[in-house]
Amino acid sequence: MHRILVADDSSFMRHLIKRYVEEDPEIQVVGEAKNGEEAIAETLRLRPDVITMDVEMPGMDGLTALSEIMARRPTPVIMLSSFQKFGDAEIVMALQRGAVDFVAKPSGELSADLYKVKSELCEKIKNAAGAPIKRLLKLAGLTQAEAPPQPLSLLPLLRNARLRTASVVNELVAIGTSTGGPQALTVLLKGLPASFPHPIVIVQHMPAPFTASLAHRLDAVSALKVVEAKNGQQLANGTVFIAPGDSHMNVEEKEGSYWIKLHQKPIAGLHRPSVDELFRSIMALGRLKRHLVLLTGMGSDGAEQMLRARNAGQAATTIAESKETCIVYGMPRAAVERGIVDYVLPIEQISKKLLEIISG
């Protein structure tokens, strides 16, 4: 049985959350809190397995309470937010501070239609209950305490110099991730220098309002330029392209250059953007040396196309994050179990491995 603390300033929302999650026989709500101060006190008193935390609450807000809880009694936290009013920047910040995941309220702060995300919320609570607490704490410490690889004031100059001297794309890194991805991507990208000579394309399972904020947050801590991808955008060396939420991202070749194509065509699978769809598109780029990476996340998205790429000789390198550093060991495990991974590494070592590979 997973013991849950519900923190929300609305008694109506607390009632709905409790009602819906307790329809799952594996979940029990053991306490409620109407602001950040109460959330901290009840966490210390009840020691719940998981906390659902609203972002905006009177007095101490959810972000501040999250930081206090991670410092005083690290506990898996799922953030709830209305992205119509708040949400995107705050949620990405929460994930980088140690929250396991988030669920967007369907129609604002008082979402009577919360039933639309009931299954998602229950699934994420159960996954969060098994999240490695020490790992969450370490990730939160990394995003707050470590300095970026280069002084932020120098990043634009370094990026511009890199783009001027490396315009021909001959290698490509493609990364797929889901739950725990914002934390993992922060660590990975902070480990790459401004001189990294190739483009990186990333699929992170996330709704549309949040991927732009994720790109902005990653851009602030990375020596590389990080952007939310746009349809028709040309790939550039030293730049990281994040697939926008609710759109699949493909890479296509035209007259020796490589371009982003976004679409919403129905494909097999549960996710849009889809890692499998990204990997499938780059399999056709025979002139490129392609490196495929799978990081923390639920499910198996990306593993099937990584298998096909490996069997067809279309992937120069395959990398999976190891279980010891994953928040959820799903997507990497699916690839490892297929026997198609060259390197299984903790997240802190993946950037180093990429640098070794491109230098070889």
Residue 257 among the catalytic residues: no
Task: Give me the catalytic one of 9, 54, 88, 301.
Answer: 301
Catalytic site residue from 81, 82, 178, 222: 178
- State yes or no: is 205 an active-site residue: yes
Q: Mark whether 342 is an active-site residue.
A: no
Three-class SS string for the chain? CEEEEEECCCHHHHHHHHHHHCCCCCEEEEEEECCHHHHHHHHHHHCCCEEEEECCCCCCCHHHHHHHHHHHCCCCEEEEECCCCCCHHHHHHHHHCCCCEEEECCCCCCCCCHHHHHHHHHHHHHHHHCCCHHHHHHHHHHHHHCCCCCCHHHHHHHHHHHHHHCCCCCEEEEEEECCCHHHHHHHHHHCCCCCCCCCEEEEECCCHHHHHHHHHHHHHHCCCEEEECCCCCECCCCEEEECCCCCEEEEEEECCEEEEEEECCCCCCCCCCCHHHHHHHHCCCCCCEEEEEECCECCCCCHHHHHHHHHCCCCCEEEEECCCCCCCECHHHHHHHCCCCCEEECHHHHHHHHHHHHHC
Catalytic residue among 8, 49, 81, 205: 205
Residues that are catalytic: 178, 205, 301
